[in-house]
Amino acid sequence: MEYSEYSPDETIIVNVILNGEAATLKVAPNAILLDVLREQLHLGGTKKGCDHGQCGACTVHVDGKPINACLRLAAMCEGQHITTIEGLARDGAMHPVQQAFLDHDAFQCGYCTPGQIMTAVALLDDPHVASDDASVREAMSGNICRCGAYRNILAAVQDARVRQGKGAS
């Protein structure tokens, strides 16, 4: 069996579409997407919580699907579309989910909010997630809010569904 080795100084090139813009990233082969976003690209909206994929604070979209950025190697993202919380707003206007979170005071400390919003956007775009409260709670269950703002988060998601014209399923 052959093992490939790399030096700690080695970098690879990864081409992605980041928040709608082409980007060429120069990363270590073992670089975690979350660390590249925060430390190399200075996109601090995506939060570092548990580093084990258990809290959802680092949720971003890769090709439209929510993923925990702390569990994805940046090198695995070659050719993929990555959207962070910074990429949701368009033309100076907040995304409807962002606006709903603000209107419903769906945060306290705000640390989990970017991950909560990214998960909510994905679930509202998923035609397979039912619109009842229990289904929304289940779809959001990978995102932990230590402040306990779950009732307001649920209200914000349901309001965003209405704002986006995505009625009951």
The predicted-structure confidence for 50-63, as pLDDT tens digits, reads as follows 999 999 999 999 99
Structure confidence at residue 60 (pLDDT): 99
For residue 150, is pLDDT > 90?
A: yes
Cβ(45)–Cβ(114) below 8 Å: yes
DSSP state of 54: S
- For residues 82 and 61, give the distance between their C-alpha atoms in angstroms, rounded to a whole number: 6
> What are the residue boundaries of the structural domains of the chain, listed by start?
12-87, 96-163
Instruction: Answer yes or no: is pLDDT of 146 > 70.
Output: yes
pTM: 0.91
The pLDDT value recorded for residue 137 is: 96
pLDDT band at 9 (very low <50, low <70, confident <90, very high): confident
> Residue 69: phi, psi to the nearest 5?
-65, -20
Q: What is the pLDDT of residue 18?
A: 98
Q: Percent of the chain scored above 90 by pLDDT?
A: 88
CATH class belonging to 96-163: mainly alpha
One-letter amino acid for residue 121 of the chain: V
**Mean residue pLDDT across the chain:** 94
Amino acid identity at 84:
T
Measured CA to CA, the distance from residue 105 to residue 26 in angstroms comes to 39
Q: pLDDT, tens digit, for every residue of 11-29?
A: 999 999 999 999 999 999 9
Mean pLDDT to the nearest integer, 72-79: 98
Asked if residue 8 has pLDDT above 90, the reply is no
Q: What architecture is domain 12-87?
A: Roll (3.10)
Per cent of the chain over pLDDT 70 is 93
Across 116-142, average pLDDT:
95
